[in-house]
Amino acid sequence: MACRITEFVIDCRDPGTLADFWCRVLDYAVLERDDNGDIEIGPAGTERGGSGLILVFSRSDEPRRGKLPLHFDVNATDRDQDEELQRLFDLGARTADVGQTGEESWHVLADPEGNEFCLLRRTVAPAAG
């Protein structure tokens, strides 16, 4: 027996803003909103326990303490890295400095709340729908 990661929970000040940003980055859809303001997103048609990874944006007023110990790595699915980088900037991403040298093949970015993620060089196939 083994486990599988089905959901990734991100504490944030503004679940709506982050859900909107990541839906546009990943071509995800809002799956559920609860009464506390938490928002779940995932591939359209994803159900709990299905094969798609669900992101849960959970409202929190707790201040963030330093660099996150985890981050996302993303790859473009239908364009090269430079084109995808520009698209991410247009969506609201910004450059983040985590001590990189400038010689890396990836770009370190931050979402609207400052959560770091990396845009890798490869172009990959879109996730199966």
Look at residue 63 in the predicted model and tell me its pLDDT. Answer: 82
82: number of Cβ within 10 Å: 12
- Classify 82 as helix, strand or coil: helix
pTM as predicted: 0.88
Average pLDDT over residues 92-98: 94
d(C-alpha 110, C-alpha 68), whole Å: 11
Look at residue 103 in the predicted model and tell me its pLDDT. Answer: 92
| 33-52 tens-digit pLDDT | 999 999 999 998 877 667 78
Place of tokens 């849960």: 56
Taking phi first (over 0 means left), then psi (-120 to 50 degrees means alpha), and beta for anything else, what does residue 85 get? Answer: alpha
Greater pLDDT, 66 or 6: 6
> Mean pLDDT, the chain, as a whole number?
90
